[in-house]
Amino acid sequence: MHGDLHGLQTPLGARSSRNQAARLLIPGRPLRWMVTQVIKLTGQNPAYRLTHRHTSIRKAPSQVSSLLMKRSLNKIHWPDALQLGPVTVLTGEERGKYPHGNSVLVRGTHQNVLIDPSLTIANRGAPAPVDQVFLSHVHEDHIPGMSQLQGIPVHCHEEDAIGLTSIDGLMSMYGLPPTLEEEFRQEVIDDFHYEPQVDVSTFSGNAIFDLGGVEIQVIHTPGHTRGHCAFLIPQARTVFLGDIELSGFGPYYFDAHSSLESFEQSMSRCRSLDADYFVTFHHKWVISGREKFLQMLDDFANVISNREEAMLEFMTEPRTIGDCVSKRFVYRPSVDMNLVQHVETRSARIHVNRMLEQGRITKVSENTYQAA
Ligand SMILES: [Zn+2]
């Protein structure tokens, strides 16, 4: 038996307030969006069945061995799409390598929800009717497909909504220095097709949406952004992890609204997710098997502790923030991007502050630190 979703249980008696919340979310559409039950969140769901018929079974990708994962797609024409019961992973170009990403379509009997419309959606359009769009968080690469979905209501966590309603709001989330911001702002408009959204609704952590026989459970996983969320689709035993991307680069917590501590708490929260398939927006695509996921999550999280240990080692001599920036604890020396200096500076400050608080380093003079 897998671990339970500790901390995600809806308190007894919360059903009516959740119903109310669901109605508030989408005014005028209450009947289509009723939260109909309190879901038992622990253990396997013995009632889980694949309900879609597959007209053909092709060879599954090497990293995905389960017979539940097949590439025949109920009339969805999308190269490299992957079907997980009611969930379709709409594999992005370059398998979701930034600036691309892997969107997810969740189909219920009443509603289809598209999660994180990627640049590939912007280029190709959605492969099936979409009733609602959900966002794991608001960043430029998770919304470009909205340009193909005009008039479709879009939902995100309340703490990220500021990025959907204006480009200034989005820019405030990044907190870039003015020299970088100007260029990036234009890139977001030109390359990611940014337009302020009109029909925006927000959800809070732990919201549950019933699409008709299929549910999406919101799991608030802040850190990358304040409103970052994962989505659990129990009927597909699948989690969409957004930008908890499990890459070798490690967690990205360098925006104005990012939080290293929140990211760490979110990762430990993800350890108790009860699912068999784990979908990342970038890089890793689909991970099959919870044990493999946990190993990858550990490796991903360890990037942070390894970085901090390397910094501590470096600080056996007195060092300034500038020294840490030059040494590079985030990017390899070969990486040449405008963003590097900014990110290295932010990272150095975050870790220096934390190690100061923990007494692992001391301030030996103005802006100079040394291992304690
Ligand atoms: Zn992001």
> Which of residues 303, 337, 360 is at a domain's end?
303
- In this structure, are 321 and 276 located in the same domain? no
Q: How far is the CA of 46 from the centre of ligand 1 (A)?
A: 34
- In this structure, are 186 and 238 located in the same domain? yes
Strand, coil or helix: what is 273?
coil
Q: How far is the CA of 155 from the centre of ligand 1 (A)?
A: 16
Q: Does the residue 309 lie in any domain?
A: no
pLDDT tens sequence across 127-142:
999 999 999 999 999 9
C-alpha dihedral over 281, 75, 66, 220, to 10 degrees?
30
Q: How far is the CA of 58 from the centre of ligand 1 (A)?
A: 33
- In this structure, are 286 and 333 located in the same domain? no
Q: How far is the CA of 253 from the centre of ligand 1 (A)?
A: 9
Q: Does the residue 348 lie in any domain?
A: yes
Q: How many CB atoms lie within 10 A of CB 155?
A: 23
Q: How far is the CA of 228 from the centre of ligand 1 (A)?
A: 8
- In this structure, are 273 and 360 located in the same domain? no
* Residues around the ion ligand 1 (C-beta < 5 A): 139, 243
DSSP 316: T
What string of pLDDT tens digits covers the 372 residues of the chain? 333 322 222 222 222 333 333 322 332 232 233 333 322 222 222 222 222 222 222 223 334 434 344 433 456 789 899 999 999 999 999 999 999 999 999 999 999 999 999 999 999 999 999 999 999 999 999 999 999 999 999 999 999 999 999 999 999 999 999 999 999 999 999 999 999 999 999 998 889 999 999 999 999 999 999 999 999 999 999 999 999 999 999 999 999 999 999 999 999 999 999 999 999 999 899 999 999 999 999 999 999 999 999 999 999 999 999 999 999 999 999 999 889 999 999 999 999 999 999 999 999 999 999 999
CB 107 within 8 A of CB 136: no
Q: How far is the CA of 237 from the centre of ligand 1 (A)?
A: 24
- In this structure, are 27 and 176 located in the same domain? yes
Place of tokens 């291992």: 371
Q: Where are the beta strands (DSSP E) in 23-93?
A: 69-70, 82-84, 87-90
Residue 37 backbone dihedrals phi, psi, to 5 degrees: -155, 160
pLDDT tens sequence across 237-263:
999 999 999 999 999 999 999 999 999
CB 238 within 8 A of CB 69: no
Q: Write b or e for each residue in 324-340: b if 16 or more Cβ atoms lie within 10 A of its Cβ, otherwise e.
A: bbeebbbbeeeeeeeeb
- Share of residues in the chain with pLDDT > 90 (%): 76
CB 136 within 8 A of CB 245: no
Q: How far is the CA of 227 from the centre of ligand 1 (A)?
A: 11
Find the helix packing angle between 339-357 and 290-314, rounded to 10°: 80
Q: How far is the CA of 224 from the centre of ligand 1 (A)?
A: 7
Q: How far is the CA of 30 from the centre of ligand 1 (A)?
A: 31
Q: Does the residue 310 lie in any domain?
A: no
Q: How far is the CA of 138 from the centre of ligand 1 (A)?
A: 7
Q: How far is the CA of 151 from the centre of ligand 1 (A)?
A: 24
